[in-house]
Amino acid sequence: MTGAETAFDPDQTNPIRAELTSFLRLKDVLPFEFLTTKTGISSLLAYLGTGQGGKTSSYLNILATRANQMHFPTVEACVNQFREIQHINAGRANTAEHIQYDNPAVYGQPNTWFSAEPKQRNKRDEYFVVSLEEKFEPYFSSELQRSWEGFLGPLANADPAKCQDKKAWGDVMGWILGQKLRGFQTGLGPLQFTNTIALVGIASEPSPEFMAQWIASNREYGAFAGLKLLGFNLSKHTSSAAVQVAFLCFYRWLDHFLTNADKRDLHFGPIFAEQLLCKVAWWQNRLLHMGRNYNLLEKAETLFEPEEWTPGGNFEDHTKFPIPSCREYPTSVFQGIVDG
């Protein structure tokens, strides 16, 4: 454990990706205009690669008072900042007073490569701790920084808020995968990096079809489990096309029925939809682990109001739902929405 652990991370239950504490705190310590620079992308990787967010708030509060905050000009500056907190913790006998400076479980399941000092296995099948220098040097390599600058082209060193021609989401995903960084080679690491680049304005959101492809290729994560919990007949053997259609059904149902005001509040788009599916799965697993015989799908069927659903009714009455139950509509209506 690298610092005292808080009991609960609200990001694990928040369905709005653009309002996660981990994303909001990023702006506090690493202003978005730096993310198109060489040192900015390295600093972003240090932020994401150590699981910064709500559970590391005490550490981020310290950084927020520093001149450069979490925009590190060199790898040495980055290492020294983490080492300083390690020294502070070492002087505190009570571990409850330790400052948590990383969170390997930032995306749910713990991943050692999202800690400041990951554990790695050697050829003798023995674990050893990777040093701070070994952890952060790949993020600050001159090759990576030049690659980012070249990838951005005219966007390099520009303010994302003023960017007109954004990079494509899929191209950003291809870039981070091409760097071959531990923690960002498969699964949620590259997804969250790419989503962050989109949310800060450097890239566009993915198309629903592109996000559907990602979910179909990454079935071990929450979005796929969420689709199954919602009633889609899917398994690990289901064709990729069927999984993609399931996501598109889910996405287009939301897109069709949510009001513009709902969409604004939710930051609606494919990134939101994928995050929402993950939280469906999270809550079902959480309730099961709490020892409760609770089925979210069955509960939803009892909660949807029996009277006719009206769009925007949730703004007048918080007990109303922003979307109707699909059971209220014949298959032909559903098919028409999906076909657009």
In a domain, 237, yes or no: yes
Looking at the structure, do residues 62 and 43 belong to the same domain, yes or no?
A: yes
Looking at the structure, do residues 17 and 163 belong to the same domain, yes or no?
A: yes
Domain limits at 309?
208-339
- Out of 83-87, 311-315, 327-331, which region has the weakest mean confidence (pLDDT)? 327-331
Looking at the structure, do residues 56 and 104 belong to the same domain, yes or no?
A: yes
In a domain, 131, yes or no: yes
Residue 205 has pLDDT above 60, yes or no: yes
CA proximity to 112, closest of 135, 140, 144, 86: 135
Cα atoms in the 13 Å half-sphere on the side-chain side of 277: 29
Q: 316-323, long-range: CB within 8 Å, 24+ apart, which pairs?
A: 322/257, 322/258, 322/259, 322/262, 323/253, 323/254, 323/257, 323/258
Looking at the structure, do residues 94 and 170 belong to the same domain, yes or no?
A: yes
In a domain, 3, yes or no: no
In a domain, 45, yes or no: yes
C-alpha 336/C-alpha 328 separation (Å) is: 15
Residue keyed to tokens 């498969």: 186
Looking at the structure, do residues 116 and 146 belong to the same domain, yes or no?
A: yes
Which of 199, 228, 243 is the C-terminal boundary of a domain?
199
Q: What is the pLDDT of residue 307?
A: 67
Q: Percent helix, strand, coil in the chain (nearest 5)?
A: 60, 0, 40
Q: How many independent structural domains does the chain possess?
A: 2
Mean pLDDT over each residue of the chain, to the nearest integer: 90
Mean pLDDT of 328-338: 62
Looking at the structure, do residues 267 and 311 belong to the same domain, yes or no?
A: yes
Looking at the structure, do residues 98 and 181 belong to the same domain, yes or no?
A: yes
Q: What is the pLDDT of residue 195?
A: 98
Kindly report, residue by residue over 256-296, the tens digit of the pLDDT. Answer: 999 999 999 999 999 999 999 999 888 877 777 766 667 77
Looking at the structure, do residues 221 and 188 belong to the same domain, yes or no?
A: no
Residue 263 corresponds to which tokens in the numbers above? Answer: 């969409």
Looking at the structure, do residues 214 and 183 belong to the same domain, yes or no?
A: no
Looking at the structure, do residues 194 and 314 belong to the same domain, yes or no?
A: no
Mean pLDDT of 51-79: 95
Looking at the structure, do residues 268 and 169 belong to the same domain, yes or no?
A: no
